[in-house]
Amino acid sequence: MSKHNLTTAAGAPVVDNQNVQTAGPRGPMLLQDVWYLEKLAHFDREVIPERRMHAKGSGAFGTFTVTHDISRYTRAALFSDIGKKTDLFLRFSTVAGERGAADAERDIRGFAVKFYTEEGNWDLVGNNTPVFFLRDPLKFPDLNRAVKRNPYTNMRDANANWDFWTLLPEALHQVTIVMSDRGIPASYRHMHGFGSHTFSLISAKGERHWVKFHFHTQQGIQNLSDAEAEKLVGQDRESAQRDLLESIDRGDFPRWTLYIQVMTEAQADACPFNPFDLTKVWSHKDYPLIEVGVLELNRNPQNYFADVEQAAFNPANVVPGIGFSPDRMLQGRLFAYGDAERYRLGVNHHLIPVNAPRCPFHNSYHRDGAMRVDSNAGATIGYEPNSQGKWQQQPAFDEPPLALQGNAYHYDFRADDDDYYSQPGALFRLMTPAQQQVLFDNTARAMGGVDEAIKRRHIANCAKADPAYGAGVAKALGLKI
């Protein structure tokens, strides 16, 4: 085994890592002990700001392999040929808990994939559910404060959580999923992943289609009951991290099949609900799943902090052939995610190896800033236009125009579509009686200590989705309706 000599960050030998310098055997420390100063100064700064959401996570490297041709829908190079492989990094996470939270908590799970394509990085930043609690990004800070700690007690506050959810009826679809038997995945390997938002695909002919991305686990769906999760947390707070790490180490590589749902612009115009509403799903009957390829995780990071903690994902990172949609929540995230990473990791977070593009022609126009660790574009001039033909824009990759109409205004999305109940009701009726009872019981446990008025508000919302849903929750809560 090779020997590693200890040096300072500047490369000078460290002559003593056991004793600080002092003025005599019992005297005070000396300011000239530069190794102590460097070691402690670095230690004081080792904990970077944790993510406000998705703080607790696990990750691994892998590949995506195309198995079916979708080139009629997109010119994206990573989908260009059957059999083509693209390297990737995937980070899983819980959402509400801090970095020290237990893995087996009732919560949605983050499912964020960074594809290192030949045209740049594509970040598909989603969850293990196809919907979310909100339609409008202006309410995202409120959701955060409702599910995080009470500013007085510094404890989780079920009353605040449920007060907020029940006052936003569009949250019922996501709440129904979280409180169902799928609310606590047994591991990250045993759950689906979704892009959740509506995105766009642009073909080589310049045609636009709206798209949803689905990753279906090949390991099968496995979940935990509240009782199983409680027992597991008491034994192992890192259960999902351990499962992912050990499965890859033993060569049992987890895989997901990527599917897409596709909607034409004409179909979107005729759709009876807003197809860009993050609280709704598209019918698989009307928009069937189209198989695309296989995602495999096959390499664990050698250093958790370097790759998992420093991984930065941003839905604004797309490649030619993949674009955005008028989804309000997606539009809000296009700014918020990059801005959060500039705060958390610094303005040059894109230079950190796990985040850096691998495409051969990548060269960043940006200059300077803290932690600029590459050549900083060397002597290349830093302005455009210029006489040397540097930093040329690439209009060939532009998207077709998107027809827009209407005045600039704070439009109330509720006026567009206030049906928040039919899809949660349909989901409820797809459940078996046993699954419905699990939903009732999980909800009742999660609402322990919540004010009766809030409980009744939730019962009323559930009843609008399906009378049996409301009645079941009421019975589990011990309330008459």
Query: What are the residue numbers of the active site?
Result: 54, 127
Cα dihedral sign, 13-17-19-21: positive
Token pair 């009421």 in the structure block, residue = 474
Structure tokens at 42: 């670095």
Q: How far apart are CA 256 and CA 185, in angstroms?
A: 15
Q: How far apart are CA 113 and CA 283, in angstroms?
A: 24
**Cβ atoms 91, 332 nearer than 8 A:** no
Beta strands in 354-473 (DSSP E): none
Element containing residue 444 per DSSP (H, E)? helix 433-446
Helix (H, G, I), strand (E, B) or coil at 299: strand
> On the CB side of 392, how many CA atoms lie within 13 Å of its CA?
8
On the 0-12 / 13-18 / 19+ scale of CB atoms within 10 A, 407 is exposed
